[in-house]
Chain A
Amino acid sequence: KQEVTQIPAALSVPEGENLVLNCSFTDSAIYNLQWFRQDPGKGLTSLLLIQSSQREQTSGRLNASLDKSSGRSTLYIAASQPGDSATYLCAVSPSQAGTALIFGKGTTLSVSS
């Protein structure tokens, strides 16, 4: 059974720091991995989608990497800003067709000014 773990559960950094959020999964047979952002009481905003054949994706100050063999993904945020404060969730799509996304519990990030 696929399990997704995100460490740390919470992270506080001062503005301007570069930071890395971690996501690990137990079964390396995945279709893709997606990173989301969730603000308090809101829905999820898709940040980056990495297909299983890809190693990384970049969007602005965000860079996500994927190492299927080790069951790991990282989300790198450069030059963090207070507006980046949110919960970041990673989710994997298992390799079996028709199965649902499996989410980690998320990392809650707080960036202070």
Chain B
Amino acid sequence: KAGVTQTPRYLIKTRGQQVTLSCSPISGHRSVSWYQQTPGQGLQFLFEYFSETQRNKGNFPGRFSGRQFSNSRSEMNVSTLELGDSALYLCASSLFGLQNTGELFFGEGSRLTVL
């Protein structure tokens, strides 16, 4: 059974650009969550999608957005990149979603470097 797949694994952008990251959850999982991991702040919740609807959002600026498609695949977008957006972005999927607080399964992450 395939795990959570994130693409791309690594990318380098410059300030002001935008980036789109993709996440394919485990087959059958309908919930996808996104987290940002930095050395200083650790892991912080970005947002969660369940059945194509954003159900929960963390404390991040509007430059961070996401969506989920009918096949449960999800994308997150960061516009007008800043140096502080450099981080490992992790996607997690679960069967029932955060509202039912099931076990989360994480992907390998997308490492974004902003120059």
Q: Which residues of A contact B (CB under 8 A)?
A: 31-32, 34, 36, 41-46, 49, 89, 91, 93, 97-106
The contact of A105 among B42, B48, B105, B109, by CB within 8 Å, is B42
| Separation of A64 and B8 alpha carbons in the complex (Å) | 34
Could you jot down 16 A-B contacts, CB within 8 Å? A36-B106, A42-B109, A43-B4, A43-B108, A43-B109, A46-B104, A49-B103, A91-B43, A98-B48, A98-B55, A98-B56, A100-B48, A100-B98, A101-B35, A101-B45, A103-B42
Chain A residues near B55: list those with CB within 8 A: 98
Q: How far is the CB of A99 from chain B (nearest CB, A)?
A: 7
Pair A99/B98 contact, Cβ less than 8 Å:
yes
Q: How large is the interface on B (under 10, 10 to 19, 20 to 34, 35 or more residues)?
A: 20 to 34
- Bitwise, B66-92 to A at CB < 8 A (1) or not (0) is 000000000000000000000010101
A-B pairs with lowest CB-CB distance, top 8: A100-B45, A44-B106, A103-B43, A31-B101, A93-B101, A43-B108, A43-B106, A49-B103
CB <8 Å contact, A89 and B106? no
Question: Distance in Å from the Cβ of B54 to the closest Cβ of chain A?
Answer: 11
A86 to chain B, nearest CB (A): 14
Taking a contact as CB atoms closer than 8 A, the residue among A44, A45, A89, A98 that contacts B98 in the complex is A98
Q: Which of the residues B58, B88, B99 comes within 8 Å of A97, measured between beta carbons?
A: B99
CB B11 to nearest CB in A, in angstroms, measures 14
Determine if B22 is an interface residue (Cβ-Cβ < 8 Å): no
Q: Judge if B111 is at the interface, Cβ distance under 8 Å.
A: yes
